[in-house]
Structure 1
Amino acid sequence: MLDAGAAHVIAASEEDVAARLADITGNEGARIVLDAIGGSLSEPLTASMSRGGILIEYGGLSREPTPFPLPAVLGKTLTLRGYLVHEVIGNPDWLECAKAFILDGLEVGALRPVIARTFSFEQIVEAHRYLESNEQFGKVVVTL
């Protein structure tokens, strides 16, 4: 992950998430959190956020229920927001901005997609199983 450009990496199953986030933020807390997992991780994430912070939930990869972190939300006046890519796809102006951002980023090398694995179309079932495993780091490509 560090090789892919992350400034910090936290191994949630191996580290105390709240303590590590406090260390990274100098005890200020995270202002914005992007979470694709949910589940039991939501509580240490919100506990580690700054006052007035924003949690953007864009996935639900955890098989565990995601508890609502009421004490942190009230105590820190947090904003919790869901996000789906359909917000951008469904808005022609936003979609054009997103396309320009991605194409420009690819052109100048600021964005470098990582391909985890490539499958032929005949392997579509295997590709789907691979995606469901959450073992990949990067994009999964299916060729026609």
Structure 2
Amino acid sequence: MLKLNSSFRSLASRSLSTRQLFYEKRGKPEKVVQLRTIELADTLAPEEVLIEWQAAPINPADINQIQGTYAVRPSLPAAAGLEGAARVSKIGSAVKSVKPGDQVLTSYVIPGTWTDFGIYDQKNLIKIDNDLPIEHAALFKVNPPSVYLMLKEYAQLKKGDWVVQNCANSAAGKQVIQIARILGFKTFNVIRNRENLGELVKEMKDMGADEVVTEDELYDKKKKIKMPRAKLALNGVGGKSSLYLATALESGGCMVTYGGMSRQPTQAPTAPLIFNDISLRGFWLMTWILAQKDERALQKMYADLSGWMKSGEIAPIPMVKRSLDEHEEALAEAQVKFDKKQVFFMKKQ
């Protein structure tokens, strides 16, 4: 029997079986992740909650954690999956924060979302809007709050201001386009060239993108593409692409790095650093979450995002729905196909 994730309570009496994706060593996700059946306690402690997972995505952070290249390295064997949405099935006698049927996320320090059921202490659950569709709720924990905070915390943007970004066709990039549009900001979006370029550009402009260019077009001196002056640049790629973003910053502007898809160091031009006092910042959602002492900021963010999603102002991220049994194929595709998110749905759709 595998050692269970620490979020599960180990009791002598067990009756509920659950499938869960585990890995016993770090490496290529499609090779090391395995599907196991484990038993959960049939009795809940007073503060515990039994939840049934509905859907959970494969994010770059999941891939990196399984590979062993992420900042957080759980002890092995480890339960996989950092994000997802669930419904409360049963509560302990002292639980007051949630009730059966509530839609919940697990806290930002609890992994193990690629499973059917889980038992958690009530303090490790976050209640979200019960009416938020699962296509939004499953991907609600990471990208939407990250984008919301990057757009609000690092520059004093006014309506009509430009935000420049690379990795613009990723799940996070598409939400930058939509949330910036809602807040009244313009976006200049850099993507990689591809076969379906025209189709992708149309999709992004339908979301609200003001300008979309490829890296090849941006780097081609003959095309003379002029980037707008911006107070904020969002960098998810690094390398040469980040250099161009930083060059677009106006005096006092800020480039926020939240990812490094190129696996190359983030670059910045020397003259703007010295003479324009531009700044380079890093963003990790966990840092902001752990620093919050007032829950009202978190709840306002969730309420804003939920409202925009339910009204249709933020569209669901395009996804490929997978069963847990399809984990090998889903993990392989998550590393090479970025236009659609691979998402585990625990029940047949």
Q: Same fold judged by TM-score > 0.5?
A: yes
Structure 1 residue 59 displacement after superposition: 0.7
CA–CA separation in structure 2 for the residues paired with 1:15 and 1:67:
16
- Larger Cα Rg: Structure 1 or Structure 2? 2
- Unpaired runs of 5+ residues, structure 2, are 1-203
Deviations 1:12-41 (A, max 9, x none): 12333895343xx2xxx1111111111121
Is residue 11 from structure 1 mapped to residue 214 from structure 2 by the alignment?
yes
SS in 2 for 1:59: coil
Aligned 8 A contact 1:118 1:141 in 2: yes
Deviations 1:59-84 (A, max 9, x none): 11112232353332222211111111
Instruction: Select which of 101, 120, 129 maps to 2:323.
Output: 120
Structure 1 residue 137 displacement after superposition: 2.2
More helix per residue: 1 or 2?
Answer: 1
Instruction: Select which of 34, 37, 45 maps to 2:245.
Output: 45
SS in 2 for 1:105: helix
Pick closer, same or farther for the CA change 1:89–1:129 going to 2, 3 Å.
farther
TM-score of the two chains, using structure 2 as the length reference: 0.36
Instruction: Select which of 225, 229, 234 maps to 1:20.
Output: 225
Structure 1 residue 88 displacement after superposition: 4.4
Pick closer, same or farther for the CA change 1:69–1:15 going to 2, 3 Å.
closer
TM-score of the two chains, using structure 1 as the length reference: 0.80
**With CA pairs under 8 Å and 6+ residues apart, which has the higher RCO, 1 or 2?**
2
SS in 2 for 1:20: coil
Structure 1 residue 141 displacement after superposition: 1.6
Structure 1 residue 143 displacement after superposition: 0.9
Aligned 8 A contact 1:114 1:137 in 2: no
Deviations 1:113-138 (A, max 9, x none): 122322211122322222222x3224
Aligned 8 A contact 2:322 2:344 in 1: yes
- Unpaired runs of 5+ residues, structure 1, are none
Aligned 8 A contact 1:17 1:45 in 2: no
Report the counterpart of residue 132 of structure 1 in structure 2: 335
CA–CA separation in structure 1 for the residues paired with 2:279 and 2:265:
20
Count of residues in Structure 1 that have an aligned counterpart in Structure 2: 138
Report the counterpart of residue 33 of structure 1 in structure 2: 233
Match of 1:142, as an amino acid?
A: F
> Would you identify which runs of 4 or more consecutive aligned residues in structure 1 move more than 4 Å?
none
1:69-84 equivalences under 5 Å are 69-84=269-284
Is residue 110 from structure 1 mapped to residue 344 from structure 2 by the alignment?
no
Aligned 8 A contact 1:113 1:138 in 2: no
CA–CA separation in structure 2 for the residues paired with 1:83 and 1:95:
17
Match of 2:218, as an amino acid?
A: E
Identity of aligned residues (%): 25
* RMSD, aligned CA: 2.3
Pick closer, same or farther for the CA change 1:116–1:54 going to 2, 3 Å.
same
User: Which deviates more, 66-75 or 100-109?
Assistant: 66-75
